Each structure stands twice: as C-alpha cells, then as structure tokens.
Amino acid sequence: MKTWLVFALCVATAASAWSATRTITLALPTMDCAVCPITVKKALSKVEGVGRTEVDFAKRQAVVSFDDAQTSVEALTRATRDAGYPSTVVGEPK
C-alpha cells in the first residue's frame, strides 16, 4: 500500500512540474460596449486552467494567465469566439 501511495505522489508531483503558468494578451477588436468586457471575462474564466483574466475595454484587450497543462491558447481564442468576440494573440506568450 505504501508503494502505491509513494508512486501516486511522485506522479502527481511530476505532472505539476511539467506544467507552467503562461500569460497571453488577446486583441478583441469587436468589443464595442461596456458590457462586452464582462461577457469576455466570463467566457475566459469558464475555461479550465485559467487563473486570472483582466479585460481592458479601452485597449480592446484581455490579459489571461493560464496553466498550459490544462488548457491552450486555441481553447482561449475559441472561448472568446464562441462568446461572440473573435480574438487574436498579441505578441509572444509569456
């Protein structure tokens, strides 16, 4: 029993060691009202692995921090598109 417990602990630790928190900026050119950022933030927050989301209406951008072991940039852009706001990545992901 102890062997299985140690094995499970090692696997769980190794999986978290391979993941990394990344931050990307998404351009959202179709946001045109004060409610749009709320909708975008809700859509991104529902994606598994998203930690922090900041949406700036004036810049028409969203900054999203996420666990790259749980989600992908493609999933984030799909979430905004499905909410009615197509997005593209600005610059290089960090």
Dihedral angle at the C-alpha atoms of 66, 69, 70, 73, nearest 10 degrees?
Answer: 60
> For the structural domain made of 19-90, what CATH number should be given?
3.30.70.100
Higher-scoring residue by pLDDT: 1, 74: 74
Mean pLDDT of 56-81: 97
Q: Which ranges in the chain belong to alpha helices (H)?
A: 2-18, 36-45, 73-82
Boundaries of every domain in the chain? 19-90
**Per-residue model confidence (pLDDT) at position 75:** 98
pLDDT, tens only, 11-67: 554 555 567 999 999 999 999 999 999 999 999 999 999 999 999 999 999 999 999
Helix-, strand-, coil-residue percentages of the chain, each rounded to 5: 40, 25, 35
